[in-house]
Each structure stands twice: as C-alpha cells, then as structure tokens.
Structure 1
Amino acid sequence: MGKKKKQRNQEVVSDGRDIEFSQELADQDDIEAQERSQAADRRAKKKK
C-alpha cells in the first residue's frame, strides 16, 4: 500500500450546493429568493 501525501492549500471545500441559475430566465420571485439566500449565507458565515 502506498502512502498518500496531502497537498497543502489544495483542499476544495464545497458548500454542498449544486444549483443552476439563469438570470435571463429569472422572475421576481426567483430574484427575491436569491437575495434571501445570500442574506442567510452571510448570517451563517458570521456565526462561525
């Protein structure tokens, strides 16, 4: 068994999202939902 070397500064951290969004196809509800999501993300990151 070979040893795996951990490469520094090469870790990818995902926020667990897999979202496609088209600004061209967005309606007002989509835009408001996106703004609420961004505000929630900011609040969550402040708590860390």
Structure 2
Amino acid sequence: MGRGRSKNSLPQVPKNQKSDGYDVEFSQELADQEDLEAQARANAANQRVQLNKQNR
C-alpha cells in the first residue's frame, strides 16, 4: 500500500511541557530561598560552560 497518513499523531511538545506564553521577570525582592539557590546553580553552570569553551 505505501505510506499513508497515520490517524494517531503525536504532538511535537507534550501538553504538560507547553508554555502558557507569559514571560515573567525575575524580581530579587520577591525571590525565596529556592529561587536564589536555582540562580546560583545557573550561574555556576554558565561559568563551567565558559571555562569549557576557553579550554577548547
């Protein structure tokens, strides 16, 4: 028969991972301890990436 269109198609992004489309600014005044820890982890990861780029 060949390649037909499948009736069961999967979305590219699962519904539970889709963004609501709202961009939210980070506010230092409203940040809790978990936000600060996440920001520190992100900064450390960015520094590791920069070091790896320099060492290539």
Q: Does 1:33 align with 2:41?
A: no
Q: Could you tell me which of 19, 28, 41 is aligned with 1:23?
A: 28
RMSD: 1.8
Structure 1: which 4+ aligned runs deviate by more than 3 Å?
none
Could you tell me the TM-score, scaled by structure 1's length? 0.58
- 5+ residue gaps, structure 1, are 1-17
* Larger of the two Rg values belongs to structure: 2
- 5+ residue gaps, structure 2, are 1-22
Percent sequence identity over matched residues?
61
**How many residue pairs end up in the alignment?**
31
